[in-house]
Amino acid sequence: MKNVLIICIALLGFNAIAQKKDTSKREARTEMKQNLSAEQKAELKSKKMTLALDLSEKQQKEVNQLFLKEAKEREVSKKDGKNRKELSDTERFERKTQMMDRLIAHKKEMKSILNEAQYTKWEESIGKHKKRQGKKRRGGKKRD
């Protein structure tokens, strides 16, 4: 009887430990991102892309300028913006349309900066990132 009780307690303990998530690293990372200036965010993003795509000096500068411009635009829209839940349907539509226009412009600019091989590799990495983000948001479930 003692042995069965000890085994049950051990199994419950292991189960509790296995389900505990460590969010401290994630929280620290998001806090660090929030504290960075637009210039710092652009610099980090361009360096990460340089490592991934082996960019030339000219490409690095152009990508950095592009990311800097976008980071500043994001900061302005964040300050001016309302909470998403407070938006009307037309305002929500306008925001989504503007976001899509910015994405199209970003893609065109990246295509002009990168060569074909780099652009293909960049698009693949964007696709992988979107898949990972989608799985995180939906709890690992695929959407139909």
Q: In this structure, what is the dihedral angle of CA atoms 73, 79, 84, 89, given to the nearest 10 degrees? A: -70
Across residues 10-20, what is the average pLDDT? Answer: 69
What was the pLDDT predicted at 144?
A: 43
pLDDT digits (tens, 9 = 90+) for 35-73: 788 888 889 889 999 998 888 999 999 999 999 998 888
Phi-psi region of 56 (alpha: psi -120 to 50; beta: other; left: phi over 0): beta
Of the chain, the percentage scoring pLDDT greater than 70 comes to 76
Under a CB-based contact definition with an 8 Å cutoff, are residues 124 and 114 in contact?
Answer: no
Count of other CB atoms within 10 angstroms of residue 92: 12
What was the pLDDT predicted at 101?
A: 94
What was the pLDDT predicted at 104?
A: 94
Fill in the DSSP letter of residue 142.
P
